[in-house]
Chain A
Amino acid sequence: MFKCKTSAEVGGMGHSVKRKEDARFLHGKGNYVDDVKLPGMLTMVMVRSPYAYAKIKSINKEKALAIPGVLAVITGEDLAQYNLHWMPTLLSDTQMVLPTDTVMHQAQEVCAVIATDRYIAVDGAEAVDVQYEPMDPIVDPFKALDKDAPLLRPDKEDQKDNQIYHWERGDRAKTDEVIANADVVVKERIHLPRIHVASIETCGCVASYDKDTEKLVVYLTTQAPHAIRTVVALVAGHVGLSEEKIRIISPDIGGGFGGKVPVYPAYVVAIAATFLIGKPVKWIEDRSENLVNGFARDYHMDCELAATKDGKIQAFKVSTLADHGYTDSSANPSKYPTGMFSICTGSYDYEHAFAELDAVYTNKAPGGVAYRCSFRVTEAVHAIERMVDKLAAKIGKDPALLRLENFIKKEQFPYSSPLGWSYDSGDYEATLKKAMDMLGYDDYKKEQAQKRKEGKLMGIGISTFTEVVGAGPSKDFDILGIAMFDSAEIRVHPTGKALARFGTKSQGQGHETTYAQILAEELGIPYTDIEIDEGDTDTAPYGLGTYASRSTPTAGAAAAIAARKLRDKGKKIAAYLLEVSEEDIEWEVGKYFVKGAPEKSKTIQEVVFAAYTNIPPGMEPGFEATHYYDPPNLTFPNGAYICVVEVEKETGAIDVKRFVAIDDCGNIINPMIVEGQVHGGLTQGIAPAMYEGIEYDDEGNVLNGTFMDYLVPTAVESPHWETGHTITPSPHHPLGAKGVAESPTVGAPPAIANAIIDALAPLGIEHLDIPITPAKVWEAIQAHS
């Protein structure tokens, strides 16, 4: 286990210090985008399409403009004059800012009403008269490639059908051969439905352009302020918005989960509006606008898993159809259109795998948001973990035993996976065994056998997942060509207190505390003496932001290395102050001392003071350092989750009795925060497993676009989570740490699905797609009785 090197007062790694950022939130003093109020600020409200697919025949602004207080109605035609009506997506597709002729999904932005206050703006939006000519939409992605399907994107020159791209990885022929000759093959089509991040704060912005200074300031709900600044400069450079004149401020963010990475059309319209009108413009999404725009998941995966009759896994194949909506706006690294989906071979040691994917256009909202998941890892893990359970059921082997027999062994790391990843570290057997012990696995197996004799439905489900997070090494990972490094800049003031700034942006993860703890660990300066600042592109160093569990793997590493640069400088100063040579100086947390004479020492604070007051001859004054960290590899956190459920035959009701989660995220900076992240991720795991999913009717209407029907779990649905850890440090991360916050979202759904399906197994039920609701369970029971 991890042993703390620092005292509780210093609060370095391993200490569960309380969060430094709490006070403002507890007292209602947080500063979220909707709290920003600027002089003369106007409000923008979007008019949205009631149809999934329609020609716009006309937009009549007259009635809206007649309302006192309505200042402007901005349409696609208006933006077209500045060539701002389309914008590029991160994956080389194009997305409408506002349409000039066709709407492609329900609730697409049609035009914007700018007014002096939000009540008037809403009235204005009601009064805009838009005439549509509805067309038959493509809702089912399996029909998108039909010969008679309408071509959804005739605006794209090379587009002859509705396929966006084909992607594949692995050896198709060899994998097919192994599957054809295997003793046992299990197959399933698995759908991970569209879901929404549904952060409690929706998206929004306040855009403010000053015509005198030519400076654009945008307060924005964004997880990646620097990348957004560059995107704005690229999109709007031709109208005179140059990157040094753009300032993106990401204030407090009320939950991100990936949903605040994309550039939404309304942001661009708000920027255009302030640019044209010269007054600040606020846009805040309401919940129903939020839920029907920007989705996650929506993969239909045809899986095949081959094994020997004893259950030794030999090959895995998965062919996926991905429903991207009308444009591919996935916020993925450029070279990874399917994200890290090729992690789908899982935690198991076998040679052959093949994954392919076809992405198609439909008349649905774009998104492809990496919802609390390092780009499609959730889909990948669900596929392999469901299939491993299906294999266990088929050959009648305990799914825990099957996993233990197939795991990559501790000594095999670094492990080259069949689809090309180099797993850094793990001890999968120890992690699963710890989870089984904590649960009392064998006792539950006995209880289950007894209950089955009584005709009761009880299930135990396991998920032993491997995540891949911390994008990423510059040779492979970029967004719009910008390498996915991240940064830290440390300034230690003369009195020994520090300010550190980062290219990332916390949305609740607790960066103001954990980054301070990393610096406390490295410099011995108490974490309480270190201020952390992020989110303002005018002050923070450039970085790619916070998503994909990348903050600790990238910016956390940058902090450690920048601090080590300072420590090296401090060593020279200490040698000067102690009048010995540098080689004679040793470091222990917070202090330099002379080798063999520990009484001769200087504290870090004394050394820092000297850097400003008693500078060694020839040395550059000051005590500041910056580091841009380009990780050598990704980190591979992993875990073993076990869920126990009981299902009531008459009603299909599902009762989650226990849920044990053991995570291995390497060395832990703040155990309290890590545990909190795991709890939160688990509730976001049970959500799609049992409650959430965006539903469409045949006309492409979203059926559950409010919190009345999009069922975010409350404290009642959320079980009492039981958590624990094993620690296998990352060998390549300077702190031995890995990302963690996404593991539970990735790992929980298959554990829950496996448990429910295991409960139903005596009835002959072999698979159910999530969300597995009581209604769905009841229908399945009827179909099997």
Chain B
Amino acid sequence: MIPANFTYHKASSLKDAIALAESLGEEAKYMSGGHSLLPMMKLRFATPEHIIDISKIQGLSFIKEEGDLLKIGAMTTQTEMEYSDLLRSKYPIFGDAIKLTADPSVRNVGTLGGNIAHGDAANDQPALMLAMRATVIAEGVDGQKSIPIDEFFHGFYMTALEPTDILVEIHIPKASKHSGGAYHKVERKVGDYATAGVAVYVELDDDGVCREIGIALTNVSAVPMRVDRAEELLRGKKITDDLIGQAGVFASEDCEPTSDLRGSEAYKRSLVDTITKRMLNKALERARQ
């Protein structure tokens, strides 16, 4: 399998990349890790005329807490996140997800930004971003913009990014004293895309009342989705087993899976129910530690 012909351009700066994209027009595509785009090009599902390589742009690979935010550079690889002491100690939800994403060699190249910007509901990071209420920072023709994650995913492989926009950074509210997250997906074998996946992020107040909650799903809808109904149910309450059970039911009812090689619609809904409950418990346990 070999990609169709295209012209490669190396961008040395964001400005350079955006100018290139603007001049090359719609047939140009950015490539960061390339592990989502290049396989599609090899299958000739994607045949861009120009590839703008943004992986050489400096300064887009970092993981840090600044003010009230956790900031991760878009070009940070999954491996860098996997081995980040900060993420391991304070944001173990990333470890949950990354261990189940593709395989170690792919994670050496695949980036956080690419995983999100591809707009694929089968990718794992979109659910995490939704659960943690991230903000996407993008750089475009008109300078920098912030896009709340709930406004980011528009459709099948479609996002709020303009063709000239580059996802540069992710901002996530910093972990508080009583917050915790967890992610799990059922996969047919290790490294597979999810049959169904659930990300949960919960923040409790000092009395154990749920101050904020995020529940989002992987690969059970055309667009990465949040389970609003389950979040509303739990927000502002002390989370009990009954409520967790009800949240699982809401998630399974609200998701929109289709039957395919990974299983029937009913099976996937059932998985969403089970995993949602399990991840709620796991996230709560972490929040209470």
A interface vs B, CB < 8 Å? 118-119, 122-123, 126, 286-288, 650-653, 691, 695, 703-704, 708-709, 711, 713-714, 716-717, 773-775, 778-779, 782
Distance of A651 Cα from B276 Cα, bound (Å): 12
Q: List 22 A-B contacts (CB under 8 A).
A: A122-B1, A123-B4, A123-B5, A126-B44, A287-B1, A288-B1, A650-B270, A650-B274, A651-B271, A691-B188, A691-B189, A703-B261, A711-B189, A717-B189, A773-B263, A775-B263, A775-B264, A775-B267, A778-B267, A778-B270, A779-B266, A779-B267
Is B190 engaged at the interface, CB distance under 8 Å to the other chain? yes
Q: Knowing that A651-B271, A711-B189, A716-B189 touch, tell me 10 more A-B residue pairs with CB under 8 angstroms.
A: A122-B2, A126-B44, A286-B1, A287-B1, A651-B274, A709-B261, A711-B188, A711-B192, A714-B191, A778-B270
5 tightest CB-CB pairs across the interface, nearest first?
A: A775-B263, A716-B190, A122-B2, A650-B274, A711-B189
Is B186 engaged at the interface, CB distance under 8 Å to the other chain? yes
Contacts of A774 in B (CB 8 A): 186
Known: A650-B274, A651-B274. A775 touches B195 (CB 8 A): yes
Q: How far is the CB of A447 from chain B (nearest CB, A)?
A: 25
Contacts of B189 in A (CB 8 A): 691, 711, 713-714, 716-717
Known: A703-B261, A775-B262. A651 touches B2 (CB 8 A): no
- Contact (Cβ within 8 A) B264 A119: no
Contacts of B192 in A (CB 8 A): 708, 711
Contact of B261 among A123, A287, A704 (CB under 8 A): A704
Q: How far is the CB of A544 from chain B (nearest CB, A)?
A: 35
Contacts of A651 in B (CB 8 A): 186, 270-271, 274
Q: Quick one: closest B residue to A288, CB to CB?
A: B1
Q: How far is the CB of A607 from chain B (nearest CB, A)?
A: 55
Distance of A633 Cα from B189 Cα, bound (Å): 42
Distance of A381 Cα from B170 Cα, bound (Å): 56
Contacts of A773 in B (CB 8 A): 188, 263
Which secondary structure dominates chain A's binding surface?
loop
Interface flags for B256-277 (1: CB within 8 Å of A; 0: not) read 0000011110110011001000
Q: How far is the CB of B113 from chain A (nearest CB, A)?
A: 23
Distance of A779 Cα from B266 Cα, bound (Å): 9
Contacts of B190 in A (CB 8 A): 714, 716-717
Question: How many B residues face the partner with a CB closer than 8 A?
Answer: 21
Known: A651-B271, A711-B192, A778-B267. A118 touches B261 (CB 8 A): no
Distance of A738 Cα from B36 Cα, bound (Å): 48
CB proximity to A under 8 Å, residues B229-286 = 261-264, 266-267, 270-271, 274
Distance of A714 Cα from B191 Cα, bound (Å): 9
Contacts of A650 in B (CB 8 A): 270, 274
Distance of A516 Cα from B218 Cα, bound (Å): 55
Contacts of B266 in A (CB 8 A): 779, 782
Q: How far is the CB of B150 from chain A (nearest CB, A)?
A: 29
Contacts of A118 in B (CB 8 A): 2
Contacts of B271 in A (CB 8 A): 651
Distance of A716 Cα from B104 Cα, bound (Å): 13
Q: Quick one: closest B residue to A714, CB to CB?
A: B190
Contacts of B270 in A (CB 8 A): 650-651, 778
Distance of A775 Cα from B271 Cα, bound (Å): 10
Distance of A353 Cα from B89 Cα, bound (Å): 65
Q: Quick one: closest A residue to B188, CB to CB?
A: A711
Q: How far is the CB of A695 from chain B (nearest CB, A)?
A: 6
Q: How far is the CB of A128 from chain B (nearest CB, A)?
A: 14
Distance of A704 Cα from B270 Cα, bound (Å): 24
Q: Quick one: closest A residue to B278, CB to CB?
A: A650
Interface flags for B187-201 (1: CB within 8 Å of A; 0: not) read 011111001000000
Contact of A119 among B2, B191, B195 (CB under 8 A): B2
Residue among B1, B44, B192, B266 with most chain A CB within 10 A? B1
Q: How far is the CB of A50 from chain B (nearest CB, A)?
A: 13
Q: How far is the CB of B191 from chain A (nearest CB, A)?
A: 7
Q: How far is the CB of A713 from chain B (nearest CB, A)?
A: 7
Contacts of B263 in A (CB 8 A): 773, 775, 778
Distance of A563 Cα from B271 Cα, bound (Å): 63
Q: How far is the CB of B287 from chain A (nearest CB, A)?
A: 24
Interface flags for B3-39 (1: CB within 8 Å of A; 0: not) read 0110000000000000000000000000000000000
Distance of A773 Cα from B263 Cα, bound (Å): 9
Q: How far is the CB of B185 from chain A (nearest CB, A)?
A: 11
Q: Quick one: closest A residue to B190, CB to CB?
A: A716
- Contact (Cβ within 8 A) A779 B261: no
- Contact (Cβ within 8 A) A779 B264: yes
Contacts of A123 in B (CB 8 A): 4-5
Q: Quick one: closest A residue to B186, CB to CB?
A: A651
Q: Quick one: closest B residue to A713, CB to CB?
A: B189
Contacts of B195 in A (CB 8 A): 775
Known: A651-B274, A704-B261. A126 touches B4 (CB 8 A): yes
Distance of A704 Cα from B189 Cα, bound (Å): 14
Distance of A357 Cα from B229 Cα, bound (Å): 57
Contacts of A288 in B (CB 8 A): 1
Q: Quick one: closest A residue to B263, CB to CB?
A: A775
Q: Quick one: closest B residue to A289, CB to CB?
A: B1
Distance of A456 Cα from B186 Cα, bound (Å): 20
Contacts of B264 in A (CB 8 A): 775, 779
Q: Quick one: closest B residue to A650, CB to CB?
A: B274
Q: Quick one: closest A residue to B193, CB to CB?
A: A708
Distance of A514 Cα from B154 Cα, bound (Å): 61
Contacts of A782 in B (CB 8 A): 266
Q: How far is the CB of A223 from chain B (nearest CB, A)?
A: 26
Q: How far is the CB of A763 from chain B (nearest CB, A)?
A: 16
Distance of A118 Cα from B42 Cα, bound (Å): 13
Contacts of A714 in B (CB 8 A): 189-191
Contacts of A704 in B (CB 8 A): 261
Distance of A243 Cα from B5 Cα, bound (Å): 43
Contacts of A716 in B (CB 8 A): 189-190
Distance of A286 Cα from B190 Cα, bound (Å): 23
Q: Quick one: closest B residue to A652, CB to CB?
A: B267
Q: How far is the CB of A707 from chain B (nearest CB, A)?
A: 10
Distance of A716 Cα from B190 Cα, bound (Å): 7
CB proximity to A under 8 Å, residues B166-206 = 186, 188-192, 195
Distance of A704 Cα from B4 Cα, bound (Å): 23
Q: How far is the CB of B156 from chain A (nearest CB, A)?
A: 18
Contacts of B262 in A (CB 8 A): 775
Distance of A768 Cα from B1 Cα, bound (Å): 37
Contacts of B5 in A (CB 8 A): 123
Distance of A286 Cα from B2 Cα, bound (Å): 10
Contacts of A711 in B (CB 8 A): 188-189, 192
Contacts of B261 in A (CB 8 A): 695, 703-704, 709
Contacts of A708 in B (CB 8 A): 192
Q: How far is the CB of B258 from chain A (nearest CB, A)?
A: 14
Q: How far is the CB of B43 from chain A (nearest CB, A)?
A: 8
